[in-house]
Amino acid sequence: MSHVIEMLNIRKEFPGIVANDNITLQVEKGEIHAILGENGAGKSTLMSILFGLYHADRGTIKVRGEEVHIASPNDATDLGIGMVHQHFQLVQTFTVTENIILGKEGGFVLDRKSAAKKIKALSEQYGLSVNPDSVIEDITVGMQQRVEILKMLYRDAEILIFDEPTAVLTPQEIEELMQIMRNMVKEGKSVILITHKLDEIKAVADRCTIIRRGKMVGVVDVASTSQTKMASMMVGRPVNFKVVKEDMEAGKPVLEVKDLNVLNIKKTPAVKNFSLQVRAGEIVGIAGVDGNGQSELVEAITGLRPIVSGSIYINGDDISQASIRERNESGIGHIPEDRQKRGLVMSASLSSNMVIKEYYREPFSKRGILHQDTIDKHAQDICDAFDVRSGEGIFSHAGKLSGGNQQKAIVGREMALEPDLIIAVQPTRGLDVGAIEYIHKRLVEHREKGKAVLLVSFELDEIFNLSDRIAVMNSGELVDVVETKQTNEEEVGLMMAGVRNKEAAL
């Protein structure tokens, strides 16, 4: 069997950390090869070495059997290696064609016509159905990704690297992307898929290289290996996928949103006539693709964004005009979407961060004077209870903590407020399996105490795992609310694309 790519005994060190330790990756021609690993396991480093962004300290790279030196992405492109980045690199105001030929314009006079023709042909060959004349800002994220793919194909890439390609897609778009990958392999290309999602690997990949903490754990044949097996290889211990959740009778409404209208930062409607109830003892998940009004909805409830019309009730009290602090005090806890921007003051100690919503109250202060000992003790309690690990304990700067520990600290702080409602936005984004498990468990515990949880997530798995009911949002509107037990991912996926239940049934 001929290997199109061979990375042998790669080692890459960064100051203080070995990102890749003796990793070997062999990709066969015409296969979809997945690279599986937790965040920080070294997947991206390995691919950056292959793409010429980093240089390996040790090891050799062979392309089509020949040893090569890849000094820059240009070298990689010349060797037929293309990479679809997680963050698209497109000029928003240019057309598809213009974006694709950018940097490959040819002569002095732009020949858009023949370029567009070639793009159209490629698009048809691989089933991408991209219109070469569309402007990037007018097309969906899924389409933009296909433009990125076309960029590679236009440059005659033989080996395509996909870096976490499904994070921004709806389930249907994911399905289509997988079909595109299969088409590519059929045409003789090879695909490297970087991901930490097991079901995707199972659905599309032939073989899978598993990396843990910079070391290679093994290469498995996907068809004959179970997901559980792969997960435990990735994490290094058995993993519980299913969150254990008792059946509970939901109580009285804690949060009630009625006919809410909110504008986004561009002053266009982001949330439209939105109504929703979250009751005591239940978790309501808001499913939807990123950018469909979820952030604005949460900001409106927590008071970070003014509303245009409608009302918001907490335990029956209208809080729609209340200040942020009054809302905090009325029983809302909020795990914000962007923990670095909103959640923590990075340059301040963990201790200060743990009382940032309560410092003005007794026992943490009295008549404007802080009680540092009480504050420190409170922070210590949270760190103990939520297993927050840091170099200098509660005196560490928040910015020095790892993402998982930062998130655990935020979750701990919000839980310590004992709020009637917790709003958790993307609570496990970018975290590894262990931290995800932990945070999920805590959210379910909160529900079991008879409190309410509003979960916003772009990961359907997470929504299905935790929610009692699922509210689907599409372009600012509530598509429908369904019982988790009476629906499936396909149905919710369709609703995320804006197709209502009843229409789908027709």
- Exactly one of 236, 360, 362, 385 binds other proteins (CB under 8 A); that residue is 360
> Of residues 9-28, which lie at the interface with other proteins (CB under 8 A)?
15-16
Binding residues for other proteins, rule CB under 8 A, total 34
Decide if residue 385 touches other proteins (CB under 8 A).
no
Q: Which of 135, 167, 243, 346 binds other proteins (CB under 8 A)?
A: 346
Using an 8 Å Cβ cutoff, are 314 and 331 in contact? yes
- Span of 168-176, 348-356, 415-423, 426-434 interacting with other proteins by CB under 8 A: 348-356
* CA distance linking residue 162 with residue 153, whole number of Å: 13
Calpha distance 452→252 (Å, rounded): 10
CB of 304 to other proteins, least distance (A): 7
- Least distance CB 407 / other proteins (angstroms): 14
Nearer CB in complex with other proteins: 145/351: 351
C-beta of 368: minimal distance to other proteins in Å? 5
Report, in Å, the least distance between residue 353 CB and other proteins.
8
If binding is defined by CB under 8 A, does position 372 make contact with other proteins?
Answer: yes
State the minimum distance, in angstroms, from the CB of residue 309 to other proteins.
23
* Binding of residue 219 to other proteins (CB under 8 A): no
Residues 6+ apart with CB under 8 A from 219: 26, 207, 208, 209, 210
Q: Which residues, in sequence order, are bridge partners of residue 274?
A: 260
**Between 18 and 243, CB nearer to other proteins:** 18
161: β partners: 83, 192
Q: Looking at residues 266 to 305 of the shown chain, list those that interact with other proteins (rule: CB under 8 A).
A: 302, 304
Q: Provide, rounded to whole angstroms, the least separation between the CB of residue 51 and other proteins.
A: 28
Dihedral sign (CA 153, 42, 234, 390): negative
Which range in 154-162, 368-376, 416-424, 460-468 contacts other proteins by CB under 8 A?
A: 368-376
Part in contact with other proteins (CB under 8 A); list of ranges 85-93, 136-144, 239-247, 324-332: 324-332
Nearest partner of 81 among 59, 54, 51, 123, judged by Cα: 51
Rounded least distance, CB 231 to other proteins, Å: 20
The residue among 65 and 368 lying less far from other proteins, judged by its C-beta, is: 368
Q: Which residues of 290-322 are buried (b: 16+ CB within 10 A; e: fewer)?
A: eebbbbbbbbbbbbebebeebebbbbeeebbeb
Q: At what angle do helices 171-186 and 489-496 cross, to 10 degrees?
A: 100
**Is residue 325 a contact point for other proteins (CB under 8 A)?**
yes
CA distance 287 to 493: 9
For other proteins, the closer of residues 337 and 462 by Cβ is 337
CB 302 within 8 A of CB 423: yes
Look at the block and give the residue holding tokens 């073989």.
Answer: 207
The answer to the question of residue 321 lying near other proteins (CB under 8 A) is no
341 contributes a contact to other proteins by CB under 8 A: yes
* Residues 165, 169: Cα–Cα separation, whole Å: 8
| Residue with smaller CB distance to other proteins, 146 or 397 | 397
Q: Examine residue 345 and tell whether it contacts other proteins (CB under 8 A).
A: yes
Nearest to 11 by CA among 61, 75, 51, 67: 61
Using the rule CB under 8 A, which residue among 71, 348, 385, 504 binds other proteins?
348
> DSSP character for 169?
-
Rounded CA gap, 132 and 263, in Å? Answer: 32
Backbone angles phi and psi of 381, in degrees to 5 = -60, -45
Q: Does 107 bind other proteins (CB under 8 A)?
A: no
Contact flag: residue 143 with other proteins (CB under 8 A): no
66-to-2, 3, 4, 6, 47 alpha-carbon distances in Å: 12, 10, 9, 9, 18
- For other proteins, the closer of residues 137 and 392 by Cβ is 392
C-beta of 174: minimal distance to other proteins in Å? 32
- 395 contacts other proteins (rule: CB under 8 A): yes
Cα–chain center distance at 120: 31
Taking the complex as a whole, the smallest distance from the CB of residue 166 to other proteins amounts, in Å, to: 29
Q: Which strands form 421-425's sheet, in the order they lie side by side? A: 332-335, 421-425, 452-457, 283-287, 469-474, 477-483
Residues that bind other proteins (CB under 8 A): 15-16, 302, 304, 323-328, 334, 336, 341-349, 351-352, 356-357, 359-360, 365, 368-370, 372, 395, 397
